[in-house]
Amino acid sequence: MKNSITMIDNRTNESYEFNIINATKGPSVVDISTFYKETGMFTYDPGFTSTASCKSDITFIDGDKGKLTYRGVEISELASKHSYMEVCYLLLNSKFPSKEESEDLDLELRHRGFLHEGLMNLFRAFPSNAHPMATLSSATSALSSFYYDHLDIEHEEEYQEMARRIIAKIPTIAAFAYRHSIGAPFIQPDIDRGFTENFLYMLRAYPGGKMHRNANGEDHIREIEVKALDTIFTLHADHEQNASTTTVRNVASTGAHPYVAISAGISALWGRAHGGANESVINQLKMIGSVDNVDAFIARAKDPDDDFRLMGFGHRVYKNFDPRAKALKGLQDQLKDELHLDSGLMQIASRIEEIALNDEYFIKRKLYPNIDFYSGVILTALKIPTSMFTPIFVIGRTVGWITQWIELKKDHKAKIARPRQLYLGK
Ligand code: ACO
């Protein structure tokens, strides 16, 4: 049997044969790279619903079964048994680190977390109420000017260094962007704190590195909070060729600096249909205001003449429960008592979930809660300001973007991303 597909142009009866490339998991693909040459036509697939834009061996999603793996390891295992640091190492190196490798990475990221003094001036140029995502994207782009000589790197160790630097600096940029947005002085990273704890520290500390202590004299940053945020970073670390990753790859395909490509990814992530949904979920829950109003908003979500959508529901790939959402729901239940989750918002969220999971409209369209539905409630419980929800997504996803960038750089057959169009003008 030939591993190919034949297409017939019914206008002329001409037939064309295209090879099928088998995937190790998931759907195979039809290689249509010669389609235009052979048929004189383009293919039309707005939103890339059926188009594979690259070959990859980093992350795999089985949307029908609700499964997600990084380098072949199930997300539930990564979230429950491994630290975010180990997950970063796994994504970048295709294997788990030894204890020593993990400690080395942790130490290196602590040292690389500081920003060039020149970059500090940039934050002050933004309006005082600038959204942290705007500042984060701009400052990440500006970072390329400090490492411009690294543009034409070719060696594995140079790629890895480029990756570790951006992973280390993004939390600092994000924290500074937030502090600027509330007019608070910047808090430099604390070399004695690990990656995730350091981020909470930079958000919460007072000048001079002083922290609030509770009545028992314990540090304001609790271990359980660090663990929860670490898990959230892991769950966001990579997700195949989503809109922001595709943006990173598109920009990188032109030969632009990797940090500019990541800045573009940050901008793409900001949209409400993508990473910005986590902020929108909480704003929507607050707007709904009470369990009594849920029915009316569900009716609006189902009304074809109303643009209103339930934020945190639906996904282009998952037509089953988002496994990241499942992990977060477990985490939410676990944290419920310890962190005094906001019961008002949680009650509204639970009611929405209950109705939607049993409603014909949502069942028929396979609309399940996605990761953003639960992450907002948990981040609220961690006292993370709402404007920082999407920057937190950025911190977790940076490793995925830069891993995808490395994969693209190493693919010597990769072409500049340059889609065609169906012209309907004059
Ligand atoms: N609420 C109500 N109806 C919805 C929702 C929703 N959240 N999502 C999809 N639908 C409906 C659409 O109206 C459409 O109905 P129709 O067939 O009657 O026209 C059908 O479900 C299919 O929707 P599409 O927009 O075609 O699905 P697509 O795969 O293009 O979009 C998306 C996926 C963007 C995530 C969409 O479900 C959405 O807007 N969800 C809300 C925003 C959100 O939570 N985004 C986060 C995604 S996860 C992430 O990026 C981390």
Q: Is 295 a catalytic residue?
A: no
| 23 lies in some domain | yes
**Residues 261-290: what's their mean pLDDT?**
93
Report the distance separating Cα 51 and Cα 411, nearest Å: 19
**275 is written with which tokens?**
């990473």
| 107 lies in some domain | no
Instruction: Tell me: pLDDT of 199 over 80.
Output: yes
**Bridge partners (DSSP) listed for residue 369:** 313
CA–centroid distance, residue 371 to ligand 1 (Å) = 14
Q: Which residues contact 48 (CB under 8 A, 6 or more apart)?
A: 241, 246
Q: Which atom of ligand 1 is nearest to the CA of 315?
A: 35
Q: Is 310 in the pocket of ligand 1 (CB under 6 A)?
A: yes
The model's pLDDT over 115-173, given as tens digits with 9 standing for 90+, comes to 999 998 899 899 988 999 999 999 999 999 998 776 677 889 999 999 999 999 999 99
CB 135, CB 181: distance < 8 Å:
yes
Q: Which amino acid is at 375?
A: S
Instruction: Tell me: pLDDT of 213 over 80.
Output: no
Q: Is 314 in the pocket of ligand 1 (CB under 6 A)?
A: yes
CA–centroid distance, residue 349 to ligand 1 (Å) = 18
- Report which of residues 420 and 371 the model is more confident about: 420
- Report which of residues 238 and 333 the model is more confident about: 238
| 173 lies in some domain | no
Number of domains in the chain: 1
**349 is written with which tokens?**
């969220």
Any idea what the CATH number is for the domain that residue 16 is in? 2.20.28.60
Instruction: Tell me: pLDDT of 347 over 90.
Output: no
**Residues 307-317: what's their mean pLDDT?**
91
Per DSSP bridges, beta strands 29-30 and 59-62 are: unpaired
pLDDT of residue 89: 98
pLDDT of residue 285: 93
| 46 lies in some domain | yes
40: left (phi over 0), alpha (psi -120 to 50) or beta: left
**389 is written with which tokens?**
């929800």
Q: How confident is the model at residue 31 (pLDDT cuts 50, 70, 90)?
A: very high
Instruction: Give the largest Cα separation in the chain, rounded.
Output: 82
| DSSP code, position 317 | S
Instruction: Tell me: pLDDT of 212 over 80.
Output: no
**Residues 351-355: what's their mean pLDDT?**
92
| 365 lies in some domain | no
Q: How confident is the model at residue 217 (pLDDT cuts 50, 70, 90)?
A: low
CA dist 1 to 5, 20, 32, 242, 378, Å? 11, 12, 20, 34, 52
Q: How confident is the model at residue 218 (pLDDT cuts 50, 70, 90)?
A: low
| 131 lies in some domain | no
**Residues 328-350: what's their mean pLDDT?**
79
| 38 lies in some domain | yes
Least confident of 126-140, 180-194, 222-236, 323-337: 323-337
Q: How far is CA 105 from the centre of its chain?
A: 21
Q: Is 274 in the pocket of ligand 1 (CB under 6 A)?
A: yes
Average predicted confidence (pLDDT) for the chain: 93
Across 278-356, the runs of DSSP E, i.e. the strands, are none
Instruction: Tell me: pLDDT of 50 over 90.
Output: yes
**Bridge partners (DSSP) listed for residue 206:** 210
| 149 lies in some domain | no
CB 279, CB 202: distance < 8 Å:
no
The model's pLDDT over 53-74, given as tens digits with 9 standing for 90+, comes to 999 999 999 999 999 999 999 9
pLDDT of residue 74: 97
Q: Which atom of ligand 1 is nearest to the CA of 312?
A: 44
In testing the pocket of ligand 1, which one of 370, 375, 389, 392 has its CB within 8 Å of the most ligand atoms? 370
Q: Which amino acid is at 54?
A: C
pLDDT of residue 211: 81
pLDDT of residue 310: 94
Q: Is the pTM of this model over 0.85?
A: yes
Domain with 20, as residue range(s), is 4-68
Instruction: Tell me: pLDDT of 234 over 90.
Output: yes
The model's pLDDT over 73-110, given as tens digits with 9 standing for 90+, comes to 999 999 999 999 999 999 999 999 999 999 999 999 99
| DSSP code, position 266 | H
Instruction: Tell me: pLDDT of 14 over 90.
Output: yes
User: In the chain, pLDDT over 70 holds for what percent of residues?
Assistant: 97
**Residues 215-244: what's their mean pLDDT?**
90
Q: Is 239 a catalytic residue?
A: no
